[in-house]
Each structure stands twice: as structure tokens, then as C-alpha cells.
């Protein structure tokens, strides 16, 4: 299904493809991993670049987080939202893998005003319970 | 019904030679208008715009981010006069939400087969706020010749030399390049026009020199071969974005009139050196397009890159600074990192630094941008290099019998204005 990334996308950080209507209702797509525990629900939304026909995760961050909350019955107060930009195997450094934790404000019905903070992969692994490989 | 279509002016880059090319978006749009619409076209880069006129409906076509604030001003003036204003074009799509504030209507997407509905709604006073066709592209077979008759052709001459006409053979792009929004605008799937429709359009163009504006021709080898084979009898000379790096394709491209290509030069690798050499081996000149200020660029990298450009004998070079246009990966990355330091869209002209670079200050990147232009053109000015390129096309035209002498009576005229020769 994810033709371009089927060999390259790190399966630690996605377990399904999520189709959504992006900006101006354009059909759009990201990869998704949702990890729930008692205190929080970690959502990792991965940019699919060429495999996404529409709006990017970053460009649609707050509406997308709201959609995911509603579609997966996630308590908005417990959601930890991570944007994952995967490694595209380019020699250009700005195409490397990165993770960003996103903070939003909640207006009573939807998320607004995304603010991104880059985090290390080890922090993501800790959040989703992946044991560091030696 | 009288429809006035306006192409707003924009501030040209400091120190650069000004060439006003006949715009492409408006002529494509005009071709899709209902038959009963009379169109008046004003390109504000070469024409004077007046607001008090008898137009029924105003259209504003915008290609560049640098046009949008002027487009909004124009709309405001017309709306004060109680005229309805609709926006369309590439930068309307990139800046749609902001543009809605200044518009009675915005059109998103490609126009073929869609304008009858818009004009019918206008006549019935039911104009919609948004016509959104972003998710549905028209049948590529439905794209006919652009309507270049709306252009005031006399205005697109510089000292007697006619500018190239713009032309497109495909839409969409399968590549997803870091600073480019075309995949968002035209879709991430390459949509070549059928060759017979391309040929039909070529036959309508009376200009010997063209700019094929497609994002990259190097997306479907067989289509490229077919295209170039069919173009040979037209004896046009043209520039374009990259052509497939393949001897058979390059050979046919040269026969079809490939004059020069815009080729991105992003590093000092043998790949780039060989790519440029192969174009040259086929008699195709190369204008390098060089983006400065990516996260891979230190000051030393930029200086080394400029030395490399001189080594590989680029025919021309065009330097820009990384500019995060909306709906690009560059925009997303820099937005997340809070590194977009200037939000004035007039400054998004690729010559002014609007980001915080990773390895230097914005001011230093701005200095290096000027250093790049100055250094590359130190021994031979941009005008001299352009003249050499111009001479090659004249030689080709003389050889194939299509040369038209410059218009002497316009020797003191540049884009409709008097100048010294």
C-alpha cells in the first residue's frame, strides 16, 4: 500500500494508513501509530510525501489532530501528538528522519495553534515503550 | 458580458535584468471562458491599470507569491466600486484562505470545463465564495490551445527582440522536490498532454522561440521521445526545465530545437558535472538554477559551489535563496522549526532572505547571495553571457531558415516604454 516507503519506512512508528480530507477537502493520507496506556495516548503521524496526494501533516496539524481524536475516541487531554518526518534516503541532510512533539490549544471542540518542538527518537521510543536496541 | 482579467505587477529582483514574459496562466484561463464573455486582459507589468471602467466582472490571476498583496489591493479598489472580484491562479491556490478575505470568489484548481458554471453563477447573482476543484483534475484531453490573442504582443519586446512565448505540454509532477509546490498544485502524478493536442497548440503559436514551462520533462521517456519527434518540423527553438538524461532523448531534443535548459545545481558532484557536459555535448546550453541557504550549506559550501559552477562552464546561472513557499516541504520544515522570520509575502521573491539559515545569520546569507551573482558574472557579465546564448539561437534560426530580424523601429523600446538603446 505504501509503495514508495514499503522498504524504507520504519515500522516501529506506524501501524496503519490514515486517509483524511485535508485542506479544501483534498483527499490526503498519513501513516499512523497510536499507543495507549493509562495516562496518555501517543499518536505518531508520519508524513508520506509522494504517497500523500493532498495536504501534509504539518500543514493540517491541528485539524488532523482533532480528526484523529474523534475517529479513535482519544481523550484530547491525554493525547501526545508527534509528527514524524521519515528518512527519505537522500544524501541531503534536511531529508533525514525527525520527530516533533506538537502542543495545541483546545477551544472546547477542536485543537488550534500548533507549536512544534523537535525531540529525539529516544524520547519517542520511551513514549511508545520501545526498548533501546544495544 | 465584459470580463476584465488582471495580472498584478510585482517587484523585480534588485540588480537583475528585467524580462517581462507573456504570462501563461491568463491565456490558459481565457481559453476556457464561455463563448459569450468578452475579455480584456491587463498585465500590470507592461500595461497601465485603471479602475474606472465598464467591466462587469473582474478576475485577478496570480502566479507568484510576490503578486498577492498587489492582487489584494486591486481587488479592494474594485470592490469599493461595487465590482465582483474572482481570484485564480497558482498563488491564489497557495494563499487561498488569506485571499478569500479580499475576494467575492476564489477559484482553486484547473479551469477546463469549469468556467461556464462560474459565469452562469455570476450572471444569476449566485457567485460562490469558493470554486474548489483542487481534488479533481480535468481530463487532460480537454486542454486545448491557450488563447494568446488576449495578449498585447507589442508589449513583450525588449529593444526590438520578441520575448519567448510560454507553452505547456504536461501538468502535474511525480517528483516531490524540497522547495517546490507543483506537486500540490498540479498533483503528484505526471499528466502528459496527448501529443496531437500539443501539436495542435504548437501550430497556433507564431513565435519561433518558446519556453516550455512544464516542471520537468524528464518524467516519461517514451512520451518525451514522441513529443520531441513531433516538434522537429515546427523548427522552434525553446528553453525548458530538465530533459531526460539519456542520449537518445537529448539527441531528439536538440533536433526539436532545445536551446537551453534550467538545471538545478545543488552540489559539486560528478553527477552534476557529467549532466551539464551531456547537455553541452548535444549542443544544449545550461542555465544553472542554484538554491542557496539550505541546511546543508555552510559559507564554505556556498563559495565552493560557485567555484564549481565556473569550472563546469555553465552558460548562465540564476541564484536564489531558500524561500519557503506554502505547501512545500521547505515550508513545513521551517515552520515546525520556527525559522520563518519574515511573513511579508512581498519579500518571498527568492532574492530576499526570509528564513533563519542553519549555519549562518540571515544577513550573511543575503551577502553570500550577492557574492554569488557578483562572482559568477565577474569576468563576463550577465548581459554578455545572455548575448552569447542569444547568438546561438540566431545561428540556429539562420541555419533552419526561421530567423526574423529584430524590429528596428522598436530598438528604443522595452516592454512598451521608451529606453536608450
Rounded mean pLDDT, A18-34:
95
CATH architecture assigned to B161-400: 2-Layer Sandwich (3.30)
pLDDT score of A2 more than 50: no
Give the chain B residue nearest A103 (alpha carbons): B336
pLDDT-based confidence at residue A1 (cuts at 50, 70, 90): very low
Chain A residues within an 8 Å CB radius of B327: 55-56, 59
Q: What is the DSSP letter of B340?
A: B
What pLDDT does residue A132 have?
A: 59
Chain B residues within an 8 Å CB radius of A92: 178, 266, 294, 296
Across the A:B interface, residue pairs with CB atoms under 8 Å apart total: 56
Query: Which of B264, B329, B338, B339 best probes binding to A when mutated, by most A CB atoms within 10 angstroms?
Result: B329
Answer for the pair B22, B148: CB distance below 8 angstroms, yes or no: yes
For the whole prediction, is pTM greater than 0.90? yes
Q: Do A50 and B183 touch (CB under 8 A)?
A: yes
Element (H, E) at B214: none
What pLDDT does residue A134 have?
A: 45
Q: What is the pLDDT of residues B301-328, one digit of tens each?
A: 999 999 999 999 999 999 999 999 999 9
Q: Do A94 and B332 touch (CB under 8 A)?
A: no
Whole-number average pLDDT of chain B: 96
Own/partner contacts of A71-80, CB < 8 Å, gap of 24 or more, are: A72/A34, A72/A41, A72/A43, A74/A34, A74/A41, A74/A43, A75/A41, A76/A106, A76/A111, A77/A106, A78/A39, A78/A40, A78/A41, A79/A40, A79/A41, A79/A43, A80/A40, A80/A41, A80/A42, A80/A43, A80/A127
**Coil, strand, or helix at residue A51?**
helix
Chain A interface includes B333 (CB < 8 A): yes
Q: Do B295 and A93 touch (CB under 8 A)?
A: yes
Is residue A2, in this structure, part of any structural domain at all? no
Cell of B45: 507589468
Is residue A77, in this structure, part of any structural domain at all? yes
Q: Do B295 and A56 touch (CB under 8 A)?
A: no
Buried b (16+ CB within 10 A) or exposed e, B211-220: bbbbbbbbbb
Chain B interface includes A96 (CB < 8 A): no
Segments forming the whole domain that contains residue A103: 11-128
Q: Which of A54, A59, A118 sits opposite B332 (nearest CB)?
A: A59
Q: What is the pLDDT of residues B68-123, one digit of tens each?
A: 999 999 999 999 999 999 999 999 999 999 999 999 999 999 999 999 999 999 99
pLDDT-based confidence at residue A6 (cuts at 50, 70, 90): very low
Is residue A70, in this structure, part of any structural domain at all? yes
Which of these, B57, B40, B38, B62, lies nearest to B49 by C-alpha position? B40
The nearest CA of chain B is from the CA of A46 a distance in Å of 13
Alpha carbon distance B62, B60 (integer Å):
6
Q: Are strands A16-21 and A27-36 parallel, antiparallel or unpaired?
A: antiparallel
What pLDDT does residue A8 have?
A: 61
Q: Kindly report, as residue ranges, where domains of CATH 3.30.750.200 are found in chain B.
A: 161-400
Q: Do A92 and B134 touch (CB under 8 A)?
A: no
Which of these, B125, B82, B79, lies nearest to B102 by C-alpha position? B79
**Is domain B2-140 annotated with CATH 1.20.1070?**
no
Which residues are registered as beta bridge partners of B166?
Answer: B211
Q: Are strands B417-418 and B413-414 parallel, antiparallel or unpaired?
A: antiparallel
Is residue A87, in this structure, part of any structural domain at all? yes
| DSSP codes, B78-147 | HHHTT-EEEEESHHHHHTHHHHHTT-SEEEES--TTTHHHHHHHHHTT---SEEE-TT-PPPGGG-----
Q: Kindly report, as residue ranges, where domains of CATH 3.40.50 are found in chain B.
A: 2-140
List the pLDDT tens digit at each of the 421 positions of chain B: 999 999 999 998 877 778 899 999 999 999 999 999 999 999 999 999 999 889 999 999 999 999 999 999 999 999 999 999 999 999 999 999 999 999 999 999 999 999 999 999 999 999 999 999 999 999 999 999 999 999 999 999 999 999 999 999 999 999 888 899 988 899 889 999 999 999 999 999 999 999 999 999 999 999 999 999 999 999 999 999 999 999 999 999 999 999 999 999 989 999 999 999 999 999 999 999 999 999 999 999 999 999 999 999 999 999 999 999 999 999 999 999 999 999 999 999 999 999 999 999 999 999 999 999 999 999 999 999 999 999 999 999 999 999 999 999 999 999 999 987 6
Q: Do B329 and A49 touch (CB under 8 A)?
A: yes
Chain A interface includes B303 (CB < 8 A): no
Domain count, chain A: 1
Which residues are registered as beta bridge partners of B38?
Answer: B2
Amino acid at each position: 500500500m505504501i509503495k514508495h516507503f514499503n522498504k524504507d519506512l520504519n515500522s516501529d512508528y506506524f501501524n496503519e494508513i490514515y486517509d483524511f480530507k485535508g485542506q479544501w477537502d483534498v483527499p490526503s493520507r498519513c501513516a499512523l501509530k497510536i499507543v495507549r496506556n493509562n495516562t496518555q495516548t501517543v499518536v505518531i503521524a508520519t508524513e508520506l510525501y509522494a504517497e500523500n496526494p493532498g495536504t501534509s501533516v504539518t500543514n493540517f496539524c491541528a485539524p488532523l489532530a482533532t480528526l484523529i481524536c474523534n475517529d479513535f475516541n482519544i481523550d484530547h487531554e491525554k493525547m501526545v501528538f508527534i509528527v514524524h518526518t521519515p528518512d527519505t534516503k537522500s544524501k541531503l541532510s534536511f531529508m533525514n528522519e525527525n520527530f516533533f512533539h506538537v502542543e495545541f490549544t483546545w477551544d472546547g471542540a477542536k485543537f488550534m495553534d500548533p507549536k512544534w518542538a523537535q525531540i529525539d527518537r529516544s524520547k519517542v521510543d520511551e513514549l511508545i515503550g520501545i526498548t533501546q536496541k544495544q | 458580458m465584459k470580463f476584465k482579467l488582471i495580472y498584478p505587477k510585482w517587484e523585480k529582483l534588485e540588480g537583475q535584468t528585467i524580462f517581462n514574459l507573456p504570462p501563461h496562466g491568463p491565456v490558459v484561463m481565457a481559453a476556457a471562458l464561455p463563448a459569450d464573455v468578452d475579455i480584456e486582459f491587463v498585465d500590470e507589468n507592461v500595461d497601465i491599470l485603471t479602475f474606472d471602467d465598464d467591466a462587469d466582472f473582474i478576475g485577478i490571476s496570480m502566479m507568484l507569491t510576490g503578486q498577492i498583496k498587489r492582487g489584494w489591493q486591486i481587488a479592494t479598489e474594485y470592490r469599493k466600486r461595487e465590482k465582483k472580484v474572482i481570484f485564480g491562479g497558482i498563488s491564489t491556490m497557495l494563499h487561498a484562505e488569506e485571499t478569500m478575505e479580499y475576494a467575492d470568489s476564489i477559484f482553486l484548481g484547473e479551469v477546463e470545463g469549469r468556467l461556464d458554471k462560474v459565469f452562469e453563477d455570476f450572471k444569476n447573482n449566485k457567485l460562490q465564495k469558493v470554486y474548489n476543484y483542487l481534488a479533481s483534475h480535468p481530463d487532460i484531453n480537454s486542454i486545448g490551445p491557450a488563447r494568446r490573442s488576449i495578449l498585447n504582443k507589442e508589449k513583450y519586446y525588449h529593444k526590438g527582440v520578441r520575448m519567448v512565448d510560454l507553452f505547456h505540454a504536461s501538468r502535474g509532477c511525480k517528483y516531490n522536490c524540497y522547495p517546490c509546490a507543483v506537486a500540490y498544485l498540479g498533483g503528484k502524478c505526471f499528466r502528459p498532454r496527448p501529443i496531437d493536442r500539443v501539436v495542435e497548440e504548437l501550430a497556433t503559436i507564431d513565435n519561433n522561440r518558446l519556453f516550455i514551462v512544464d516542471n520537468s520533462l524528464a518524467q516519461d521517456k517514451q512520451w518525451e521521445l514522441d513529443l520531441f519527434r513531433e516538434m522537429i518540423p515546427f523548427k522552434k527553438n525553446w528553453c525548458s526545465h530538465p530533459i531526460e538524461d539519456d542520449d537518445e532523448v537529448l539527441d531528439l531534443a536538440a533536433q526539436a530545437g532545445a536551446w537551453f535548459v534550467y538545471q538545478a545545481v545543488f552540489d559539486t558532484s560528478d553527477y552534476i558535472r557529467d549532466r551539464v557536459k551531456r547537455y553541452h555535448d548535444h549542443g544544449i546550453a545550461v542555465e544553472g538554477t542554484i538554491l542557496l541557504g539550505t541546511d546543508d550549506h555552510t559559507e564554505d559550501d556556498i563559495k565552493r559551489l560557485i567555484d564549481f559552477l565556473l569550472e563546469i562552464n555553465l552558460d548562465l546561472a540564476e541564484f536564489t535563496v531558500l524561500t519557503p513557499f506554502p505547501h512545500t516541504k521547505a515550508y513545513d520544515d521551517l515552520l515546525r522549526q520556527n525559522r520563518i522570520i519574515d511573513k511579508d509575502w512581498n519579500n518571498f521573491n527568492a532574492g530576499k532572505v526570509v528564513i533563519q539559515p542553519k549555519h549562518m545569520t540571515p544577513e550573511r546569507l543575503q551577502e553570500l547571495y550577492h557574492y554569488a551573482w557578483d562572482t559568477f558574472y565577474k569576468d563576463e557579465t550577465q548581459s554578455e553571457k545572455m548575448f552569447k546564448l542569444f547568438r546561438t539561437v540566431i545561428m540556429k534560426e539562420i541555419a533552419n531558415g526561421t530567423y526574423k530580424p529584430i524590429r528596428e523601429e522598436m530598438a528604443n523600446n522595452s516592454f512598451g516604454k521608451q529606453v536608450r538603446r
